[in-house]
């Protein structure tokens, strides 16, 4: 798959980040149209239904800024069916209504994840080793959202290097079904969502540390195997939980990795972008700039790839971030595009400039 700009110039160095260097200085810019109107690249964020339902400002903001909204909790198995057979679909349905009324889509997160499975299901799966326990959940969750959802995280976080077969996580799913559970999940998701894009979603793929290059290698091996076996997978969600304490991402390593994913004919999306801060005691302007720099360093690597379909932040306002404050005095972690009062920060402008770099624009009235 081709990339549409010269990757070498974009990788020229962190200090010369093109996305960042195009970003206007603080206070000089206010976006009028919202990020959703800028290009063909899908922009989105994760939210919780309970926040959207009570916070009108948040609701208006996500509908203005986003093409696609990811329910942060409401489609997870432990949320939907914490007690066997007692389905709780109402929060996801309320969110779907709000989003589709505005002509937007939901991204489904996540069908199979070792962390969000209710205890009763883990017990039953380990005890009976019946795959139908998993597909019963697919049947509960997929048909009701067939109109609202056009992409799904089918398998979330299956890689854990350091032990086990091929870097696969030694989860209850592996123990019950072996490595085939991944393939089965995609096949059975496709049977229930013939037109949706089906993603494998993984974290820890960006850092310079050796665990991260090992994860990239294990992820590639898995994707190669799935593609060679004709498994119906459309792409890889690269979680973007950046952490300033871990230092700069491995731009060259990530670029090589994305190229190999593209060569397999797969799409990528940045699926869970946010930044965990490292230095809460420096001035706020510097904090926000550090966050923006980290985001720019990632976007500079992935933007040139034609197979990049979208960028989703894991939240949009610091008020509702899953990331805790770094210290008692630091206030909220400031790792999302908007502050707690929904004001744009440098991370927002970096995203806006990145989206503007993509062509063609889907909007004729861009500002
Ligand atoms: O942000 C989510 C947090 O509110 C939940 O308590 C947690 C467990 O359901 O999941 C968090 O989201 C995770 C996502 O589903 C998968 N990748 C890592 C995210 C952050 O932990």
Q: What is the pLDDT of residues 5-17, one digit of tens each?
A: 443 333 333 345 7
**Dihedral in degrees, nearest 10, Cα atoms 278, 281, 283, 288:** 20
Write down the catalytic residue from 74, 81, 183, 272. Answer: 272
Distance in Å, CA 167 to ligand 1 centroid: 22
Judged by average pLDDT, the poorest of 9-23, 204-218, 279-293, 341-355 is 9-23
Residue 283 burial by Cβ neighbours in a 10 Å radius (0-12, 13-18, 19+): exposed
Task: Kindly give the number of the ligand 1 atom that is closest to the alpha carbon of 156.
Answer: 16
Using CB atoms within 10 A of its CB, is residue 222 exposed (0-12), middle (13-18) or buried (19+)? buried
Closest to 266 (Cα-Cα) out of 297, 306, 301: 306
Task: Yes or no: say if 110 and 138 are a contact pair by the CB < 8 Å rule.
Answer: no
Average pLDDT, stretch 28-55? 85
Q: How far is the CA of 143 from the centre of ligand 1 (A)?
A: 24
How many angstroms separate the CA atoms of 100 and 87, rounded? 22
User: For residue 361, what pLDDT band results from cuts at 50, 70 and 90?
Assistant: very low
201: enclosing H helix or E strand: strand 197-202
The yes-or-no answer on residue 272 being catalytic is yes
Non-local (6+) Cβ contacts of 121 within 8 A are 77, 81, 84, 133, 137
Out of 63-77, 114-128, 317-331, pick the least confident. 317-331
- Indicate the pLDDT class of residue 165, thresholds 50, 70 and 90: low
What predicted TM-score, i.e. pTM, was given to this entire model?
0.92
Contacts of 21-25 spanning 24+ positions with Cβ under 8 A:
22/353, 22/357, 23/292, 23/296, 23/346, 23/349, 23/350, 23/353, 24/349
- Return the DSSP state at 24: P
Is the model's pLDDT at 311 over the cut of 90? yes
Question: Is residue 47 within 8 Å of 82, Cβ to Cβ?
Answer: no
Tell me: cis bond preceding 338? Omega within 30 of 0 counts: no
Give the model confidence (pLDDT) of 177-186 as tens digits: 999 999 999 9
Q: What residue spans of 166-310 are helical by DSSP H? A: 172-177, 180-192, 210-228, 251-263, 284-302
Give one word for 43, left, alpha or beta, with left for phi > 0 and alpha for psi -120 to 50. beta
Specify the pLDDT at position 288.
97
Q: Which pair of structure tokens corresponds to residue 65?
A: 């800024």
Q: Kindly report whether the peptide bond that precedes residue 118 is cis, defined as omega within 30 degrees of 0.
A: no
Q: Which of 65, 72, 74, 157 is catalytic?
A: 157
Encoded tokens for 342: 């929904």
pLDDT in tens, 285-306: 999 999 999 999 999 999 999 9
Protein residue closest via CA to atom 7 of ligand 1 = 73
103: phi > 0 → left, psi -120 to 50 → alpha, else beta; which?
Answer: left
Specify the residue with its C-alpha closest to ligand 1, atom 13: 72
How much of the chain exceeds pLDDT 90, in percent?
Answer: 82
The Cα–Cα gap between 322 and 303 comes to 26
Four-CA torsion 26, 30, 35, 38, nearest 10 degrees: -110
C-alpha to C-alpha distance for 181 and 101, rounded to whole angstroms: 36
Is residue 241 within a helix (H) or strand (E), and if so which, with residue range? strand 241-243
Task: Output the average pLDDT for the chain.
Answer: 90
- How far, in Å, is the centroid of ligand 1 from the Cα of 323? 10
Site residues for ligand 1, CB cut-off 6 Å? 72-73, 76, 115-116, 156, 203, 239, 272, 322
Which tokens sit at 266? 């797969």
224 carries an active-site annotation: no
Cα(96) to centroid of ligand 1, in Å? Answer: 19
CA atoms within 13 A on the CB side of 96: 19
Determine the Cα–Cα distance for residues 12 and 347; give it in Å rounded to an integer. Answer: 21
């Amino acid at each position: 798959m081709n990339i549409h700009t010269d990757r070498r110039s974009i990788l020229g160095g962190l200090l010369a980040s093109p996305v960042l260097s195009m970003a206007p200085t603080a206070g000089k810019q206010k976006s009028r149209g919202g990020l959703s109107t800028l290009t063909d690249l899908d922009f989105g964020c994760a939210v919780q239904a309970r926040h959207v339902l009570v916070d009108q400002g948040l609701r208006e903001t996500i509908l203005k800024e986003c093409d696609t909204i990811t329910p942060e909790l409401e489609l997870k198995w432990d949320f939907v069916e914490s007690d066997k057979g007692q389905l709780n679909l109402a929060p996801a349905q309320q969110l779907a209504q709000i989003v589709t009324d505005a002509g937007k889509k939901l991204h489904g997160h996540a069908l199979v994840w070792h962390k969000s499975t209710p205890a009763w299901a883990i017990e039953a799966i380990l005890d009976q080793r019946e795959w139908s326990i998993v597909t019963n959940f697919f049947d509960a969750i997929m048909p009701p959202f067939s109109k609202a959802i056009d992409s799904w995280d089918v398998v979330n976080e299956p890689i854990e290097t350091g032990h086990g077969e091929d870097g696969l996580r030694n989860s209850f799913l592996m123990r019950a079904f072996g490595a085939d559970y991944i393939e089965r999940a995609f096949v059975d998701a496709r049977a229930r969502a013939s037109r949706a894009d089906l993603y494998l979603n993984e974290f820890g793929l960006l850092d310079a540390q050796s665990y991260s290059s090992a994860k990239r290698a294990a992820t590639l091996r898995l994707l190669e195997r799935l593609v060679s076996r004709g498994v119906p997978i459309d792409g890889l969600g690269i979680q973007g939980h950046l952490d300033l304490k871990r230092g700069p991402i491995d731009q060259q390593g990530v670029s090589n990795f994305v190229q190999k994913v593209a060569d397999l004919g797969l799409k990528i999306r940045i699926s869970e972008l946010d930044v965990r801060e490292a230095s809460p005691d420096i001035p706020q302007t510097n904090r926000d700039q550090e966050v923006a720099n980290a985001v720019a360093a990632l976007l500079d690597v992935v933007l040139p790839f034609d197979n990049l379909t979208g960028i989703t932040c894991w939240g949009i306002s610091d008020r509702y971030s899953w990331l805790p404050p770094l210290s008692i005095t630091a206030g909220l972690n400031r790792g999302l595009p908007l502050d707690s009062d929904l004001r744009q920060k440098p991370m927002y402008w970096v995203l806006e400039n990145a989206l503007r770099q993509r062509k063609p624009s889907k909007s004729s009235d861009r500002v």
